[in-house]
Every structure is written in C-alpha cells, then in structure tokens.
Amino acid sequence: MKAADARVLLTGASGGIGRAMARTLRNAGAQVMGVGRGENGPAGMDWHRADLNEPDGAFHVARAAADWRANVVVHAAGVPGFGPLASIAPLQMEQVLQANLLAPMRLTQALLPQLLSLPRAQLVFVGSALGRIGLPGFSVYGASKAGLHGFAEALRRELADTRLRVQILGPRSTRTGFNGAAVEAYNLATGTAMDSPETVAAALLALIESEAAETFVGFPERLGVRLNGLLGARMDGSFAKHRRSLGTPKIQPTTPGANT
C-alpha cells in the first residue's frame, strides 16, 4: 500500500521509535493516529489515549480504529527487559510478556472484524532480531518477541486467502531511551551496532509499501537471523563475549510472593 493511501494506527507512538515512525509516515503522505497512555500525543498527530495492558484497552482502541477508518495497524508499543535471567524479578517477566506479546495479540483479535471488512489492509508487528536470535541477557525480552514473531507468522498463513496482509519488522538495537545504560555498555563491549530511530522508521515505510512478509534491519543481524535458523545450537559458541559481558548476576528471590 502506498503511504498516501494509508491510515495508520500506531501503538507506542510517543516512544523514540514511535515518534520517528509517525514523522516518517506523515512526511510520506500517510495519515497517522497514535495510541498511548499519555493524555496527549506528539503535536499535529491524531491521538487516542489507551492503556493496552488494561482488560478493556483493546476494545476501545479497536472501536476508535473503526471510527477513524484505519487500514494499517503498526504494533510498535513494548517494554524492555535486559539482564541475566537470575536477576530479573518475576513481576518484570510478566510485564514484558504482557506488553510485548499478549497486548498486541488481544488488540489484533479486536481489530480483525474491521480490518477484514476493508478492500485492503495491513497489520505490521514490530518484533526484533532478538526474536529470532537468542542472545545472552535477553532471554525474557527475546521470548516475548519470539512469541510475537510466531503469532504473526501463523496469522499471516491463517489469513492468506483474505485481503489483510500480515507483516513483521525486525529491528536490531536502536538508539533511544528504550535501551538503558546497561544495554549501551553491553553493546559497546560486544561490538553490537545500534541504528537511529529514523533508520527503523524508513524500514517500516518501505515494508508497508512493498507489502513483503517480513524484513530485518541491519547487518550482520539479517545474516544472523538466517544462520540461526539454519544452524541452531551450532551457533552457540558465537556468543561467548555476550555471555561474559553480563558479569555475575544478582539472584532474585523466588519464594511465594517475592515477585516485585
């Protein structure tokens, strides 16, 4: 779909990547409605306030999308999760899976009737290279994105006979506030490149206009995704410096009730 024909519902629109996506799409001629928990979104953008982690959040956003006549949905909202598994609190694990996987699944289900009624529509899930490459320190975050990739892939095949295209965008690490100082130090120690939000936004625009099934951003991550799919466990030795960069984890208690 050409940008000029797109009416894009964009979750996570107030974040670093989300703002860049909204700006790039609007500059290309698309209409954008942002979704976020804040009272107001970036200046000049249509805005719908909602918390997608709340039980009725998906319902209200789906109704707003139908009223606004959205024909493209970009699931860009999410939360980070970095560190050795032993140092991550159970509550944080739940929050990462809720925001990165369950919330977009519920919203997609709520949006389907309206999207399937349109002559053409697109669903774009913003995943991650870490959803296809298991990297030390990102076990929880990677699991949430791997689940999102699996959901999108299955849904794409489920809806192959309809006019709704399902797509996956897989960025690598990006220079925004989403990645804290610990991740930046880890990336520096391991030689991991980081893209600008504008690079990811440009990849999103290209994906929407191409209607391709999926695309991953950056090299060698694109190659890593392919190799990991082919070689699996034989790739394990490639991540020794990533493992060492985590240091000694602080162990979280796992007794009943100790999930904060």
Catalytic residues: 141
Query: Cα torsion for 165, 221, 93, 198, to the nearest 10°?
Result: -70
Where does the chain show beta strands of DSSP type E?
7-11, 31-36, 46-49, 72-75, 121-126, 164-170, 214-216
The burial class, CB within 10 Å (0-12 / 13-18 / 19+), for 198 is middle
Any residues with CB less than 8 A from the CB of 220 and at least 6 apart, and which? none
In the block, tokens 């694109």 appear at 222
The answer to whether residues 218 and 195 touch, using CB atoms and an 8 Å cutoff, is: yes
Nearest CA to 136 out of 77, 90, 61, 192 is that of 192
